[in-house]
Amino acid sequence: MGMATTKQEIKKLDHGGVSSPKGFRAGGRHCGIRKEKPDLGWLISDTPADAFAVYTTNKFQAAPLKVTQESLAIEHKLQALIVNSGIANACTGEQGLQDAYRMRAEMADKFKLAKHHVAVASTGLIGDFLPMEKLTTGISAINPEDNLGHSFETAILTTDTREKKIAVQIEIDDQKVTIGGAAKGSGMINPNMATMLGFITTDANVEPGALEQQLKHLTNQTFNMITVDGDTSTNDMVLVMANGQASNQPLEPNHPQWELFAKALAFIFQYLAKEIARDGEGATKLIEVQVEGTNTEIEARKIAKAIMGSNLVKTAIHGADANWGRIITAIGYSGVDIIPSQVSVKIGDIPVVKNGLPVLFDEEKMKLKLAETEIGIFVKVGESNTKALGWGCDLSYEYVRINALYRT
């Protein structure tokens, strides 16, 4: 497998994904929930892996999340994941819960695992029941020897236009350590976990408490800092599994190479989060918002989320209109106590506001900047070094078309 080097001794694997780490296998197939596309995915570790997850904040939490939480609560170990797309198994009551338990049981039986070593995930239309006979047939047809990560990464998609996958390799204690990831998400995405699934795998030996802490910390910095449309869904989660097959010394903050591992894990999380924002329904541009100078990181995140979540900002970016007043307005209603005369804003490298006052800029140069597929918005509200990054996308005519016709 070819490699491309990134900074900090982190090597990005060509064509890498969720099944790249040692001891992980994955696959996907069509089982009949959707018309043609693969709609059933699975991920297996050869040995039980330390595992932790974070979940949507939506009060209508879907059945598979409840089952996965129950599995993980027993000993925080998983050996398999079964996931379907097309139907979310949300708002389905007791029947939906029993169906999620049945998915777990069928997967456990197929691979001769303890039931609580299996996680369940679903994504798709809310309110429909799963066609359990199709799912049962699909699970029974899984070939345990298959390792087709590409199929898994396709099977979890809904309105996404492409797979979202990544793998990197680092060296810890003279052992090759690999971290892989796959995600889905395109619409109904908003900070604080939404319709998105993120699965992170590693063959690193990681102390469980340190792994859980990193999951929560990095989720707040990445997946909780993306927005497509302001809606928070019923389903999804980010799940991390570490099976220890790289045989390094246990990683925790006192390990001499902990920082390298933490950076590699952060690289995976940020890459997947940005890919979700980039692939927002109907999106043509990725928007990255950087805010600095606030008293706390939470305040910086609030301002970034307000800007990314503004439909007026998103439509202006779509139309290549440098309407910086919309950015200033979002900063003003973010709930953060700022001093207007200290606020400066740049779009790309072009200043548009300095110390609360407009800056004249070259309209033609700005048009070219806003025609690019990645747009940076930089906001400074004070002199502190505190900063936060967030990602969103433009709001297009196509977004309305997709969501106006979702059930048809």
CB neighbours (10 Å) of residue 403? 15
The Cα–Cα gap between 349 and 365 comes to 11
d(CA 16, CA 48): 22
Q: What are phi and psi for residue 193, nearest 5 degrees?
A: 70, 125
Region at 355 (left for phi over 0; alpha for psi -120 to 50; beta for the rest): left
Contact 117, 48 (CB under 8 A): yes
Q: In DSSP terms, which residues pair with 391 in a beta bridge?
A: 226, 288
Q: Position of tokens 């400074």?
A: 380
Instruction: Please report the beta strands in 117-236, taking only residues with DSSP state E, as ranges in sequence order.
Output: 118-125, 164-172, 175-184, 197-202
How far is residue 37's CA from residue 378's CA, in Å, rounded to a whole number?
Answer: 40
List 195, 202, 227, 294, catalytic entry: 195
Decide the pairing of beta strands 286-292 and 374-380.
Answer: parallel
Report angle CA 40, 43, 47 to the nearest 5 degrees: 150
Assess whether 195 carries a catalytic annotation. Answer: yes
Please give the structure tokens belonging to residue 326: 């919309």
Q: Which residues pair with 45 in a beta bridge?
A: 24
Torsion over CA: 214, 215, 218, 221 (sign): negative
Tokens of 28: 């996907």
Q: How far apart are CA 62 and CA 93, in angstroms?
A: 9
Beta-carbon neighbour count of residue 366 at 10 Å? 18
CA 255 to chain centre: 27
Q: Which amino acid is at 360?
A: L
- In angstroms, rounded to a whole number, what is the distance separating the alpha carbons of residues 12 and 2? 9
Angle between the 311-318 and 297-309 helix axes, to the nearest 10 degrees?
60
Residues designated as active site: 195
